Each structure stands twice: as structure tokens, then as C-alpha cells.
Amino acid sequence: MESPFEMFGCDVFGEKEMEERLPRPVYLKWKETIANEGTLDRQTADAIAHAMKRWALERGVTHFTHWFQPLRGSTAEKHFAFIEPDDEGIPFTHLSGKMLIKGEQDASSFPTGGLRATFEARGYTYWDVTSPVFIKNGILCIPSIFVSYNGDALDTKAPLLRSIKVLDEAATNMMHLLGEKDVRHCTPVCGLEQEYFLVDRELYEQREDLQLCGRTLIGAASPKGQELSDHYSGPIPTRVREFMQDLNQHLWQLGIYANTEHNEVAPGQFELAIIYSPVNIHVDQNMVTMDLMEKLAEKHGLAVLFDEKPFARVNGSGKHDNYSIQTDTGLNVFSAGDKPAENIRFLVFISAFIKGCDEYAKVLRASANCVSNDHRLGATEAPPAIISVYLGTYIEGILMELIKDSKPKPISNVLPPNFSKISGLSYIPRDNTDRNRTSPVAFTGNKFEFRMVGSSMSAAMPNTALNTILAKELEEMGKELEGIKYLQDVRAKALELCQKIIREHQRILYSGDGYSEAWVKEAAKRGLPNITNYVDCLAVFDEKQTIDLFSDLNIFTKSELQSRKEVFAEEYKNKKVIEVKTLLEMMRQNLLPAMTREMAQSAGTVKDLGSAAPAALKEHIRQVSALYDSLTKKCADLDKACSKALAQKDIIAIDKMIYKDVCPLMETVRADADAYETICDRKNYPFPTYKDLFINL
């Protein structure tokens, strides 16, 4: 029996398989294509398709699909059989180069934000040759982009690929200007830390809110939550461990380097981290991973929750995006080296990144916008909605000394001697930075960690924003350096530019507690934007700065950018209306009847006991009765407010009214429901409680 490591990548038609199965000229043509140095002709595509089909058939695969990522936060696929009839009606297997490269979908049936009318059905999927083809659930999946008949991007991948190309060009040009002429390509890479919750599936199926909304709409605090901090990195429950082992096996077969897994802070919360890879491939791998997690969790009697805040009063979940740039010569542009103050490449790239985060803070904030992130951002487990950059004492100190034109103060790279005595090791290197878990953008040694991204969302948009912002700043710096004859003069000018950037944009640097109220006030003094909610983020897509940024670099056309705003606005309305309907149904069909039964049972007991009935029992009936009346009225108010919001003609007006009027009323309904849970007869409560959900793993 093969070990998991021997089976690694066996379900991927990657470079190894292509080199072995393709004629050498075809293989080299494909290599040129993925390096953006050539295009696939029909003959080459036919050869690749034939080899791919044979490889898939050997593994028992009978169907293929163009696997793509429409504007709905998940993936999509439409299956086609390899088997077709020939002219005489005899079946044969077929996959042509044309079928491999191009497919067709009903574009009007996916969210488009107005890019396609209902009667305009045609849309196309095109093979993304830079992302490996793979087998999932017995289907050959061809990673693809999704565009309209007119060429508009209808997915998250097409803009991401555009941003990768633009950044490659800007970063490579900068490397050449700085004297590193051997660099041919600069590739953005990332590593995503995926947080999630697991709950017992039987209990999950008894909670309508979890099934329809992905989060609990009611629920009193468990007697024990995360107060003791005993769950974080604690022993992994046996059921969860079996699920993780199964998941790892599937991921490794797909060539995905699932590396780190552990218990997170909240009970029932976990994290999976995958080793760095090019951004485009990594985003694909993350989407595949989430899909596998949902399917395998069900197999193990579990349900996985990706919502950013499935439970109140305990930590929510994010998808931390560890981002950097790698050259084809093996350099990490954010690697400071032994002498950061003298590393002009490092200074240029980190300065460009800082400037981009400051100038386009709103864009970065909007890129991490998803509905449930409103419940998470700014809480005690997630960064605030204010964009700031944490560099660590050492790197920030170097930059501050740089703008003072003085020599940076040396810092020891070895931990104190008393630590060595405890550990028994003679030399323990110190990292260049500490870690600041309250910062939305933190430098962590040789990369930036964008911690604002929500756990349920695709990482395509955040990485598109990061790529575009950095490309814009590098392009502008490059123009300042063009035409300078001597390398030493180029480097001197580059250093001047870095000093100017740090002086003008140091307001974005913050090393303190991002959770504190003091920081909110300080950020306001510095003029940093603080967009606290999903609805206000939508306005960013209308701002001239946003439109110019993306349209000037050909990442989004103005209409494509507007379409995203419309899709996001519609998503907010739809998700919140589903939550309101679900909450009202749970109250009217489950909780209020349960309260009625309890009052009737208690009243019967009082009657049976007569004068011996305790006053506390009568008081209990009064409390339940008062909650019943209050809850009934609040449900009616919520229903009315939701209808009023939906009567608005403009989608943004609807969203604003939902955020301002409807969401607060949902919380008042929850308050009464949770109050009843704390005093009810447990036999009468119709839903699994937080305690049930937390301890049944």
C-alpha cells in the first residue's frame, strides 16, 4: 500500500505528468505559455488535451468540467462526459484542445451586478494554464476564468490574473533598475491560515439558523467558553483528528501542502495552514480545501462552519493572508537580510507597500469586506476596521533612523543569556519582529500578514487589491528612477524616495494595541479612515481614487468595478433577509410555542399545589409571560422593519435601512430569546445550546 507521501500529487495533472506524457516540443510550448512568453496554438492544445484525457481515464474518471469561481463566494462546475458517439453511433472518448481551452456557461444565471441582462445568456470559461488541472470527486477539474460574451470578468480569478501580470511587470522592472538584471519574473505568493468551527452534525441539523445562515442567531453563553484558554493548541479531539487525517490524505493527493493544524482559541474552533505557493494557485487550493472540508466533515458526522462569527461571545474566524513577492531567481523581496538598512531592494519594496497601504487604505478595507465580518472586525480576536501597518520595533526603528539621516542603532539578534541557560542551547536567533495580533497588516519577518480577510470569503479580491496597490506604487517609483545612467545614482535616488515615503506616510505605522479605544481616537487624529461596516464599504467602489487605481492598470473596467458593488450590495440584502426570516420562523414556530407549553405546565403545577405553590414558581411564570409578550412584539416590529426596508427602490437604501433599523431589532429579539434560555426548563428548550455544540465533539 502506498504511503500518503508516495501518493502526493497523484490527482494532479501537473508539470511532472506533462513532462512525462507530452512530446518535448509540446511540453516546452506549455512552459513558455505559463511563463507569459507564448500562447497555445490549436495543435499544442490538442496534444495536451489528449494526454490529459488518457491520464484521467486511467484513474477511472469519466467526466470533466471547467472549474471556476463566479461572484458568489464559492466555486462552480458543469460536467461533461468524455464519451461521445462517432458517425456510426459507436461510443468513443474525446477531449479536444478546443474543449480544454474553452467552455460555455449561462452567464445570466450567476451574479453579475448588471454586466449581463437576464436575456443575455452566453458566457465563456477559459482554461487558466497557470493553475494545475486536478481530479476532485471523480471529476477532471480544469481551473478556468469566467467572462461574458463581451469579455467582462464575471468571476474573481480573471482580475486576480490581471493583477499578477501587472505586479510582475512593475516589480521586475524595479529589480532591473536596482541592478538585478537576471530577474525575469516576480511572482506574488501567499499562505492562507484557514480558521473554522466544527460541530456535531446531528446537533447542527437541529439548528435552522446554522443550516440556513451559517451562524447562530440566538444562543445564551455557555457556562464554559474560552475563559480558561485551555482549547488553544490543546489536544485535538479524536473525531476531529480522524477528520483532519482524512482531509490531509485528500489534500496531499491533490498536491496541496497542508502543513499546520491545531485547535484555535474558541471551543470547537480549528485552523489549517497550507504552505506558500503562487497567489493564483493558492487561492484555487484554498477553495478546493474548503469544499473538501465540507464534504469530509459530513462523512465524519460533523458540520464545518466558515462563517466569521458563528457563535456570539467567543472568537470568530479569519483567513489570515501571508503575502510576499518571490523572484524567479529565488529572492524574497521582503527579506530584510542581515543589514536591512543597507538592503536597497528591501527598503524600496517595503516603502512601496507602506505607501500603498496608506494611500489605498479604503481599497484594502473594502477588499476584505464580507457580510459576517461586521461581527468580527474590532472584536477581541480580530484586527480593527482601521488599516494600519505593524513593522516591529527593529524594522520600524531602522526606517525612523533612515529619515533622520542617522545610522540605525544595532539590535542583538540573539536572545538573552538567561534564556539560553533555561533551554540548554548556546545560540538562539531572534526574529526581526515580534508579532502584533491586533494589527490588520503586520510584517512578520519576510512577509506581510493581512489579518482582516474573513474566513468564509475567497482570498482572490484581497490579493487582487494587494497586487494592484503594490504594482501602482512600484510603477510610480520606477518612473522616478528611469533614465538615471549609473547604478550608484539609481540606488541613491531610490534611497531618497524611500526616505520621502516614510516621512509622508509614517502615520500608517502603528505598533500598539489595535483593540484599544485610544487607538480609534489616535487614528482619527492621524486622518486614517475607519469604515466599520459592510454597507459603508460599498461606497469605496464609487470613489474616483478606486476607479482610477483599477482602471489605469486594467485590472477592472469601471463597469466591472461597479458590478462588484452591485453584487456585494445584493448579497448583503439577501443574506440579512434570510437571517430575518429564519429568526422569525425559529421564534414563532419553535420558541414561542415552547414558552407557551412551559407556562401551561407551570400554571398546572400551581393549580395542583394550591396554596402550597411556591411564590418563586409564580414569579417564574410571570417572567416567562413577560418575555413572551416582549418577544411577540419584537418579532412583529422586526417583521415590519424588514418589509419597510425592502420597500425602498434603491439597493443601497435597502442595505442602509437593514443595517440601521433591522439588524438592531434582530439583536433585541435575540436578547429576549437568550434571556428565556437562561431560565427555561431545559426539556422545553427546542434547540441545542451553545454548551451542547461546544462539548459534543
Establish if 61 belongs to a structural domain. yes
Last residue of a domain, one of 507, 528, 556: 556
Establish if 4 belongs to a structural domain. no
Residues 498 and 352 in one domain: yes
Where does the pLDDT of residue 574 fall: very low under 50, low under 70, confident under 90, or very high at 90 and above?
A: very high
Establish if 221 belongs to a structural domain. no
**pLDDT tens per residue across span 522-547:** 999 999 999 989 999 999 999 999 99
Write the DSSP assignment of 638-649 as a string of letters. HHHHHHHHHT-S
* Beta-carbon contacts of residue 300 (< 8 Å; ≥ 6 apart): 239, 242, 243, 246
* Beta-carbon contacts of residue 611 (< 8 Å; ≥ 6 apart): none
Give the percent of the chain with pLDDT over 90: 75
The residues pairing with 195 across neighbouring beta strands, listed in sequence order, are 271
The phi, psi pair for 256, rounded to 5°, reads -100, 120
Q: Provide the CATH number for the domain around residue 81.
A: 3.10.20.70
Q: Measured between alpha carbons, how far apart are the two ends of the chain, in Å?
A: 31
* Cα(26)–Cα(39) distance, integer angstroms: 12
Task: Provide the pLDDT for residue 414.
Answer: 55
More confident residue, 445 or 650: 650
**With 90 as the cut, is the pLDDT of residue 337 above it?**
no
| The three cell numbers locating residue 268 | 470547537
Establish if 669 belongs to a structural domain. yes
Residues 436 and 547 in one domain: yes
Residues 207 and 264 in one domain: yes
Task: Provide the pLDDT for residue 411.
Answer: 52
Q: Identify the CA nearest to 162 among candidates 447, 460, 412.
A: 460
* Cα(509)–Cα(391) distance, integer angstroms: 7
| Mean pLDDT value across residues 579-585 | 98
More confident residue, 559 or 379: 559
**With 90 as the cut, is the pLDDT of residue 397 above it?**
no
* Cα(455)–Cα(373) distance, integer angstroms: 9
Q: Reduced to 3 DSSP states, what percent helix, strand and coil does the chain have, rounded to the nearest 5?
A: 50, 15, 35
Residues 114 and 204 in one domain: no
Helix (H, G, I), strand (E, B) or coil at 280: helix
The residues pairing with 262 across neighbouring beta strands, listed in sequence order, are 271
Q: Identify the CA nearest to 461 among candidates 187, 188, 160, 195.
A: 160
Which stretches does DSSP call E strand in 18-101? 63-67, 79-81, 83-85, 91-93
More confident residue, 2 or 212: 212
**Nearest 10 degrees: CA dihedral of 84, 86, 90, 91?**
-20
* Beta-carbon contacts of residue 383 (< 8 Å; ≥ 6 apart): 377, 438, 439, 440, 451, 452, 514
Interior angle at CA 517, CA 511 and CA 521, nearest 5:
80
With contact defined as beta carbons under 8 Å apart, do 304 and 291 qualify?
Answer: no
Last residue of a domain, one of 521, 556, 591: 556
According to DSSP, residue 410 is labeled P
Task: Provide the pLDDT for residue 234.
Answer: 86
Task: Provide the pLDDT for residue 207.
Answer: 98
| The three cell numbers locating residue 531 | 469604515
According to DSSP, residue 237 is labeled P
Residues 177 and 149 in one domain: no
Q: Identify the CA nearest to 361 among candidates 523, 479, 501, 194.
A: 523
Establish if 210 belongs to a structural domain. yes
Residues 609 and 524 in one domain: no
Residue-averaged pLDDT of the chain: 91
The count of other CB atoms within 10 Å of the CB of residue 648 is: 15
Q: Does residue 483 come out as left (phi exceeding 0), alpha (psi in the -120 to 50 range) or beta?
A: left
| Mean pLDDT value across residues 32-37 | 78
Find the range with the poorest average confidence among 34-43, 79-88, 130-139, 511-520: 34-43
Residues 149 and 168 in one domain: no
Name the packing angle between helices 238-253 and 279-299 (round to 10°). 140
**pLDDT tens per residue across span 358-378:** 999 999 999 999 998 888 886
**With 80 as the cut, is the pLDDT of residue 168 above it?**
yes
Residues 243 and 293 in one domain: yes
Q: Provide the CATH number for the domain around residue 537.
A: 3.30.590.10
CA distance to 246, 286, 383, 475, 658, per residue, from 293 (Å): 10, 10, 26, 40, 32
Given CA atoms 336, 340, 346, 347 in this order, what sign does their dihedral have? positive
Task: Provide the pLDDT for residue 416.
Answer: 59
With contact defined as beta carbons under 8 Å apart, do 491 and 178 qualify?
Answer: yes
**pLDDT tens per residue across span 285-324:** 999 999 999 999 999 999 999 999 999 999 999 999 999 9
Task: Provide the pLDDT for residue 228.
Answer: 84
Where does the pLDDT of residue 420 fall: very low under 50, low under 70, confident under 90, or very high at 90 and above?
A: low
**Nearest 10 degrees: CA dihedral of 395, 401, 403, 406?**
-140
**With 60 as the cut, is the pLDDT of residue 577 above it?**
yes
Q: Identify the CA nearest to 433 among candidates 448, 418, 419.
A: 448
Establish if 345 belongs to a structural domain. yes
Task: Provide the pLDDT for residue 680.
Answer: 95
Domain that holds residue 136: 12-154
Find the range with the poorest average confidence among 66-70, 75-79, 98-102, 408-412: 408-412
**pLDDT tens per residue across span 263-277:** 898 999 999 999 999
CA distance to 265, 322, 454, 562, per residue, from 230 (Å): 8, 26, 24, 46
More confident residue, 1 or 50: 50
Interior angle at CA 158, CA 466 and CA 557, nearest 5:
80
| The three cell numbers locating residue 611 | 396554596
Write the DSSP assignment of 426-444 as a string of letters. S--BPPS----TT-SEEE-
Helix (H, G, I), strand (E, B) or coil at 85: strand
Q: Identify the CA nearest to 534 among candidates 309, 305, 377, 383.
A: 377
**With 80 as the cut, is the pLDDT of residue 432 above it?**
no
Give the percent of the chain with pLDDT over 70: 94
Task: Provide the pLDDT for residue 379.
Answer: 59
| Mean pLDDT value across residues 48-66 | 95
Q: Identify the CA nearest to 291 among candidates 456, 463, 126, 64.
A: 456
**pLDDT tens per residue across span 586-642:** 999 999 999 999 999 999 999 999 989 999 999 999 999 999 999 999 999 999 999
The residues pairing with 394 across neighbouring beta strands, listed in sequence order, are none
The phi, psi pair for 421, rounded to 5°, reads -65, -40
Establish if 3 belongs to a structural domain. no
Establish if 564 belongs to a structural domain. no
Q: Specify the pairing of strand 139-148 against strand 63-67.
A: parallel
Task: Provide the pLDDT for residue 241.
Answer: 95
* Cα(688)–Cα(632) distance, integer angstroms: 22
Task: Provide the pLDDT for residue 338.
Answer: 80
* Cα(444)–Cα(428) distance, integer angstroms: 18
Given CA atoms 561, 476, 361, 187 in this order, what sign does their dihedral have? positive
What radius of gyration do the chain's Cα atoms show? 28
* Beta-carbon contacts of residue 424 (< 8 Å; ≥ 6 apart): none
Where does the pLDDT of residue 409 fall: very low under 50, low under 70, confident under 90, or very high at 90 and above?
A: low
More confident residue, 187 or 696: 187
* Cα(84)–Cα(685) distance, integer angstroms: 57
Interior angle at CA 648, CA 111 and CA 653, nearest 5:
70
Where does the pLDDT of residue 65 fall: very low under 50, low under 70, confident under 90, or very high at 90 and above?
A: very high
With contact defined as beta carbons under 8 Å apart, do 324 and 448 qualify?
Answer: yes
The phi, psi pair for 63, rounded to 5°, reads -130, 155
| Mean pLDDT value across residues 332-336 | 93
**With 80 as the cut, is the pLDDT of residue 422 above it?**
no
Residues 171 and 147 in one domain: no
The residues pairing with 319 across neighbouring beta strands, listed in sequence order, are 194
Residues making up the chain, counted from first to last: 697
Residues 81 and 133 in one domain: yes
With contact defined as beta carbons under 8 Å apart, do 1 and 243 qualify?
Answer: no
Q: Specify the pairing of strand 441-443 against strand 389-390.
A: parallel
More confident residue, 590 or 231: 590
Last residue of a domain, one of 556, 588, 617: 556
Residues 437 and 508 in one domain: yes
Q: Provide the CATH number for the domain around residue 597.
A: 1.20.120.1560
Residues 535 and 638 in one domain: no
Q: What is the total count of domains within the chain?
A: 3
**With 70 as the cut, is the pLDDT of residue 417 above it?**
no
* Cα(131)–Cα(488) distance, integer angstroms: 40
